């Protein structure tokens, strides 16, 4: 039995299991959020991307661009550079069509997930001014995740208002 345990202790790290760290755990929940948001964006018909619940409120594609832009912006609080050529505030003017919008969303989540994983432990407690509030980089990353969840909820409401059931809620 001791030999089996020793073998597991040696082999598990070699098997590609990731260590439980704040960064890996947060990246995993952002990944889960991304899968739902992307599935929802795919489920909403293209002709509903201009739908808004009221005048002056973001439409479906506006919410998706807002999420994507924030996924590029939030990592800058951890001193992660925004990718060359990305302008989070101008995506709606440069990305057209449902498939391209979804691809931009996918790319933004990939950037955010990799950014979270790249933040060294030593940076997590560094204090920053985030929207006029002093908080740690760790808190800023948690704030970013909350933003992802908030706008997933908004997209769920938009989808249901248009008779689209979130894919993970559909009965078998």
For residue 120, what is the DSSP state? -
Indicate whether 128 belongs to any domain.
Answer: yes
With beta carbons less than 8 A apart as the criterion, state whether 51 and 59 touch: yes
pLDDT digits (tens, 9 = 90+) for 13-38: 545 556 899 999 999 999 999 999 99
Q: Find the domain containing 69 and state its range.
A: 18-169
Among 130, 107, 124, 112, CA closest to 21: 124
* Tens digit of each residue's pLDDT (9 = 90 or more) over 58-91: 999 999 999 999 999 999 999 999 999 999 999 9
Residue-level pLDDT at 19: 80
Establish if 5 belongs to a structural domain: no
Mean per-residue pLDDT of the chain: 91
- The number of folded domains in the chain is 1
Q: For residue 112, is it within any domain?
A: yes
- 73 within some domain: yes
Model confidence pLDDT, tens digit, residues 99-151: 999 999 999 999 999 999 999 999 999 999 999 999 999 999 999 999 999 99
Q: Is residue 6 part of a domain?
A: no
Q: Is the dihedral of CA 156, 68, 76, 130 positive or negative?
A: negative
The predicted pLDDT at position 7 comes to: 47
Assigned domain for 12 exists: no
CA distances (Å), origin 151, targets 19, 25, 78, 118:
29, 20, 22, 24
- The verdict on residue 143 lying in a domain is yes
Residue 51 lies in a domain: yes
Residue partners of 104: CB distance under 8 A and separation at least 6: 65, 68, 91, 95
Q: Return the DSSP state at 127.
A: E
What 3-state class would DSSP assign to 129? strand
Query: In angstroms, rounded to a whole number, what is the distance separating the alpha carbons of residues 68 and 74?
Result: 10
Joined together, the tokens standing for residue 89 give 């505030």
CATH label of the domain that carries residue 91: 1.20.120.450
């Amino acid at each position: 039995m001791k030999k089996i345990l020793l073998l597991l202790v040696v082999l598990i790290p070699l098997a590609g299991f990731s260590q439980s760290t704040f960064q890996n755990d947060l990246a995993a929940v952002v990944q889960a959020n991304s899968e739902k948001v992307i599935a929802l964006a795919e489920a909403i018909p293209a002709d509903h991307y201009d739908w808004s619940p009221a005048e002056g409120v973001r439409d479906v594609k506006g919410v998706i661009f807002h999420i994507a832009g924030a996924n590029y912006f939030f990592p800058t609080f951890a001193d992660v550079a925004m990718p060359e050529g990305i302008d989070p505030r101008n995506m709606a003017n440069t990305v057209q069509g449902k498939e391209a919008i979804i691809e931009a969303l996918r790319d933004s989540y990939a950037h955010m997930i990799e950014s979270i994983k790249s933040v060294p432990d030593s940076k997590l407690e560094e204090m920053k001014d985030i929207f006029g509030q002093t908080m740690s980089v760790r808190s800023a990353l948690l704030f970013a995740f909350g933003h992802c969840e908030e706008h997933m909820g908004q997209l769920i409401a938009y989808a249901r208002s248009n008779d689209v059931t979130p894919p993970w809620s559909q009965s078998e």
